[in-house]
């Protein structure tokens, strides 16, 4: 909503800041709708935004807008914003521990402090890497306070990122073994080129020569040569200063394969023209031996076709020998400098992928040359969580090195030996790229002793939604940001961390059991209200209290965060019934206190005489038509109110008016009935001071105390005993607030003479009832 006026202001700036006279630049604008920020307790509280940076983009400018709502509780908070290229950012704002063998790099972040109504910040990235970019924002750590909807007035913060890009449409291509002549005049007008690197390139060299600077010595070359694109990580950009050299060269070892590399040349001086010649060369140091067009591939597949493809394949393989237990054919394990092991990819579901070695899972590893496995993570849904796993069965006194690299020299080392036969590497949110696993046998002492030695390694690699499915004390949840799907762990029972493995604040088993017992057994305090209601012939109210006690008990038994869980039904069903029973209990209690039609609330059959006469009569028809109307009105209030409460619970169970609405309506009905009786009798109702002092005031005090504890004091840490106090206080208030039975009504709702089918009986006018 703030993007369009700002766009008009920024576009002239983009048009003015040109990068050169020989390139054509175009601008692009991308915006996301504002979202409300949340305090951080797990990754689901993060607001994640996905952007796509086009190819040949030379500048990205993010416009970050934070808007603060108005209110007395709006303090000064720092909003943390994270940036990452290729995958969602891996963050750890509350300093929790990651699972063992987890490798990650913290994302670039900045902190915005907002004291007024709005904060606008610009964040620039020059020569950004093309592809997926992610922006994540959140408020500080959650304090654990449980805020009930409608009762809290917390301040709202809204965050909106907008991305402006400047892209070159005709960027020159630097070809190998050819020279290009370029001119730069200032740091604001660099020369931008790109070079494509084929597969198995071991080294890239870019050379600048023939520098000719206006008014400067010929030996001076005031240029900065930069190789690579910015991803806000280390080791992604190489820069060399050519000052004082007639020519300079920058070398990139083990460069990324099958991709474009950005080359940028900038002048150190302002308004000084420098002419130069630039060239590039690459070295292909090692390639695997060719396996032919079809023969070797179909030989391997046919050897294990039933397990791999689930069918039979008939292939003419000629004189080729089918491989045995080894996954590499004998003709491949020769003097080649690298052995390429084919891998197939199997998609299990939306966010799960399994990689398996063809004719594997065993891989033969030698000390002569490394074995290379390639894992393609170029799909849009691949930047989730994954784990690399290496198991080995190798010769004694030997060592196997597993190195998983993301197309550059900065990889992850894994070592296997006799004492450590297994190694695991977990990478949360891996970047979308081609990943490589290199296996090689290393002889620790004398290399001549193991020239012909080999080892067998069992490998497995897979992508999963969450690491180890979040363990015992976590739940893996699938999240969505617009059309982008990702997953994260939500921890319980005090466990924390990316995969719920940090037990610093974990609850013990005794603590979990105590919480479960308190929250469930405290509902047994509803037994006294049930007994009192039945004793006073309030059968409908007693049924509602019994319903509430039953479902509240088993809802809290199912709602436990740890291992002390018991669910007799679906969780959503138990929660719905608990909320419905709680509000319905309040509704029927206040209606019962109003005594709109106490004596005609229940329908019964009449006496033996009516039965003997061949007919029957309802209790509600014992009096005049006014009593009939009151009886029907009472039944309508009970039924209609319960149906409306059931509907509102389905719409929004935690809404303020779901509880407040029925309470207000019932209170209005009670006040109207009491005022009517007071005016009719010309005295206060209830008439006795004992009823006020010993029943109504204690009951109201218990209800108010319970409601205050429920609304204002509950947190994640004290929930188990504060909510139990709520159960106790509400149940106690019902005992005090239920009106007494009619003096002429027998206890437990039975008459002394059991005749016919009579359920309730009232032969006296309400005027004589002592209330």
Contacts of 694 (CB under 8 A, 6+ apart): none
- CA-CA distance, 712 to 703, in Å (whole number)? 14
Contact 645, 580 (CB under 8 A): yes
In tens, the pLDDT along 551-599 reads 999 999 999 888 889 999 999 999 999 999 999 999 999 888 887 654 3
- CA-CA distance, 130 to 250, in Å (whole number)? 22
**What per-residue confidence (pLDDT) applies to 732?**
94
Same domain, 20 and 134: yes
- CA-CA distance, 71 to 61, in Å (whole number)? 32
> Would 503 be classed as within a structural domain?
no
> Would 187 be classed as within a structural domain?
yes
> Would 482 be classed as within a structural domain?
no
Contact 489, 470 (CB under 8 A): yes
**What per-residue confidence (pLDDT) applies to 630?**
61
pLDDT at 278 over 90: yes
Mean pLDDT of 455-475: 87
**What per-residue confidence (pLDDT) applies to 135?**
95
Mean pLDDT of 740-758: 54
Which of 183-192, 402-411, 420-429, 506-515 is most confident? 506-515
In tens, the pLDDT along 658-697 reads 777 888 888 888 888 888 888 887 888 787 888 888 899 9
pLDDT at 767 over 50: no
Mean pLDDT of 91-104: 89
Same domain, 303 and 416: yes
Least confident residue range of 147-151, 265-269, 322-326, 427-431: 322-326
- The β-bridge relationship of strands 203-213 and 248-253 is antiparallel
- CA 193 to each of CA 167, 174, 218, 273: distance values in angstroms, whole numbers, following the listed order: 13, 6, 24, 18
**What per-residue confidence (pLDDT) applies to 21?**
47
> Would 475 be classed as within a structural domain?
no
On whether the pTM is more than 0.85, the answer is no
Same domain, 313 and 272: no
Same domain, 274 and 318: no
The boundaries of the domain holding residue 103 are 3-168
Give the CATH number, domain containing residue 684: 1.20.1070
DSSP letters, 248-303, are EEEEEESPPSSEEEEEEEEESSSS--EEEEEEEEEE----PPP-TTTHHHHHHHHH
Same domain, 339 and 303: yes
* Torsion of the alpha carbons at 393, 397, 400 and 401, rounded to the nearest 10: 150
Beta bridge partners of 253: 203
Give the CATH number, domain containing residue 238: 2.60.120.680
Average pLDDT of the residues of the chain = 78
Listed residue (106, 86, 319, 287) closest to 201, CA to CA: 287
Mean pLDDT of 382-391: 45
> Would 471 be classed as within a structural domain?
no
Q: Domain ends where: 109, 138, 168?
A: 168
Q: Domain ends where: 283, 310, 335?
A: 283
Q: Domain ends where: 464, 499, 518?
A: 464
> Would 488 be classed as within a structural domain?
no
Which residue has better confidence, 604 or 525? 525
> Would 499 be classed as within a structural domain?
no
Same domain, 705 and 556: yes
Contact 416, 384 (CB under 8 A): no
**What per-residue confidence (pLDDT) applies to 311?**
41
> Would 473 be classed as within a structural domain?
no
Rg (CA), the chain: 38
Same domain, 142 and 199: no
Same domain, 740 and 605: yes
- CA-CA distance, 629 to 562, in Å (whole number)? 53
In tens, the pLDDT along 290-319 reads 776 665 555 555 544 444 444 443 433 333
Q: Provide long-range contacts, Cβ within 8 A and 24+ apart, for 717-724.
A: 717/144, 719/146, 719/515, 720/514, 720/515, 720/518, 720/519, 721/518, 723/519, 723/556, 724/518, 724/519, 724/522
Beta bridge partners of 427: 386
Mean pLDDT of 408-422: 74
Same domain, 438 and 528: no
> For the chain, how many structural domains are there in total?
4
Same domain, 145 and 185: no
pLDDT at 756 over 50: no
- The β-bridge relationship of strands 131-141 and 77-85 is antiparallel
- The position carrying tokens 């420098």 is 274
Give the CATH number, domain containing residue 84: 2.60.120.380
- CA-CA distance, 129 to 57, in Å (whole number)? 8
Same domain, 252 and 314: no
Which residue has better confidence, 447 or 708? 708
pLDDT at 397 over 60: no
pLDDT at 754 over 60: no
Listed residue (647, 666, 642) closest to 582, CA to CA: 642
Same domain, 550 and 667: yes
Mean pLDDT of 704-717: 88
Q: Provide long-range contacts, Cβ within 8 A and 24+ apart, for 152-157.
A: 153/71, 153/72, 153/73, 154/73, 155/68, 155/69, 155/71, 155/73, 155/74, 155/75, 156/36, 156/68, 156/69, 157/36, 157/37, 157/66, 157/67, 157/68, 157/69, 157/77, 157/79, 157/114
- The position carrying tokens 């907002």 is 114
């Amino acid at each position: 909503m703030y993007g369009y006026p700002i766009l008009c202001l920024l576009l002239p700036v983009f048009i003015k800041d040109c990068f050169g006279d020989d390139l054509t630049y175009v601008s692009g604008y991308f915006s996301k709708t504002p979202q409300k920020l949340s305090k951080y307790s797990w990754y689901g509280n993060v607001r994640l935004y996905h952007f796509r940076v086009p190819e040949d983009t030379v500048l990205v400018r993010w416009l970050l807008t934070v808007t603060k709502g108005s209110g007395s509780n709006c303090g000064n908070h720092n909003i943390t914003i994270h940036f990452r290229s290729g995958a969602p950012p891996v963050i750890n704002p509350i300093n929790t521990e990651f699972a063992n063998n987890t490798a990650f790099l913290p994302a670039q972040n900045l902190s915005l402090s907002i004291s007024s109504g709005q904060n606008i910040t610009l964040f620039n990235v020059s020569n950004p890497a093309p592809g997926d970019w992610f922006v994540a924002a959140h408020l500080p750590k959650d304090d654990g306070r449980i805020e009930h909807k409608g009762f809290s007035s917390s301040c709202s913060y809204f965050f909106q990122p907008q991305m402006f890009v400047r892209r070159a449409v005709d960027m020159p291509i630097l070809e190998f073994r050819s020279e290009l002549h370029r001119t730069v005049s200032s740091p604001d007008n660099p020369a931008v080129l790109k070079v494509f690197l084929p597969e198995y390139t071991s080294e890239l060299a870019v050379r600048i020569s023939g520098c000719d600077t206006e008014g400067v010595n010929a030996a001076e070359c005031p240029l900065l040569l930069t190789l690579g694109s910015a991803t806000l990580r280390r080791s992604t950009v190489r820069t060399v200063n050519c000052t004082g050299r007639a020519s300079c060269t920058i070398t990139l070892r083990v460069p990324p394969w099958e991709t474009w590399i950005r080359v940028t040349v900038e002048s150190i001086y302002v308004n000084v023209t420098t002419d130069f010649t630039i060239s590039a060369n690459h070295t292909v140091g090692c390639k695997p031996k060719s396996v032919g067009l079809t023969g070797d591939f179909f030989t391997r597949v046919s050897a294990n076709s039933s397990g791999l493809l689930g069918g039979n394949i008939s292939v003419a393989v000629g004189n080729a020998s089918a491989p045995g237990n080894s996954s590499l054919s004998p003709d491949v394990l020769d003097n080649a400098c690298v052995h390429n092991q084919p891998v197939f990819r199997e998609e299990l579901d939306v966010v799960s992928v399994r990689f398996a070695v063809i004719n594997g899972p065993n891989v033969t590893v030698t000390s002569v040359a490394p074995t290379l496995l390639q894992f393609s993570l170029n799909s849009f849904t691949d930047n989730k969580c994954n784990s690399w796993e290496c198991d080995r069965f190798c010769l004694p006194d030997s060592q196997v090195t597993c190195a998983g690299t993301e197309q550059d020299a900065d990889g992850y080392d894994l070592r296997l030996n006799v004492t450590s036969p297994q190694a695991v590497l977990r990478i949360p949110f891996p970047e979308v790229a081609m990943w490589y696993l290199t296996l090689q046998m290393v002889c620790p002492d004398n290399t001549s002793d193991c020239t012909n030695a080999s080892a067998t390694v069992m490998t497995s690699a897979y992508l999963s939604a969450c690491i180890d499915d979040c363990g015992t004390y976590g739940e893996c949840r699938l999240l969505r940001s617009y059309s982008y799907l990702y997953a994260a762990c939500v921890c319980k029972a005090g466990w924390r961390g990316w995969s719920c493995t940090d037990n610093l604040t974990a609850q013990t088993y005794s603590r979990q059991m105590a919480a479960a017992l308190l929250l469930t057994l405290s509902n047994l305090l509803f037994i006294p209200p049930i007994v009192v209601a039945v004793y006073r012939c309030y059968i409908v109210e007693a049924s509602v209290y019994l319903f509430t006690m039953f479902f509240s008990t088993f809802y809290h038994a199912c709602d436990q965060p740890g291992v002390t869980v018991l669910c007799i039904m679906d969780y959503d069903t138990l929660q719905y019934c608990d909320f419905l029973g709680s509000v319905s209990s309040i509704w029927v209690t206040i209606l019962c206190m109003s005594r709109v039609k106490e004596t005609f609330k229940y329908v019964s059959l009449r006496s033996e005489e009516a039965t003997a006469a061949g007919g029957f009569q309802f209790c509600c028809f014992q009096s005049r038509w006014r009593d009939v109307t009151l009886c029907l009105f009472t039944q309508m209030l009970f039924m209609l109110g319960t149906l409306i409460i059931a509907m509102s619970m389905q719409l929004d169970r935690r809404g303020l008016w779901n509880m407040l609405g029925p309470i207000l309506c019932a209170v209005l009905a009670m006040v109207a009935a009491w005022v009517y009786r007071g005016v009719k009798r010309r005295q206060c109702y209830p008439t006795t001071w004992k009823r006020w002092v010993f029943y109504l005031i204690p009951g109201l005090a218990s209800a108010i105390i319970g409601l205050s504890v429920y609304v204002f004091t509950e947190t994640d840490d004290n929930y188990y005993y504060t909510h139990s106090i709520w159960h106790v206080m509400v149940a106690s208030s019902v005992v005090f607030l239920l009106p007494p039975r009619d003096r002429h009504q027998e206890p437990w709702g039975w008459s002394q003479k059991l005749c016919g089918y009579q359920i309730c009986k009232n032969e006296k006018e309400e005027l004589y009832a002592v209330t």
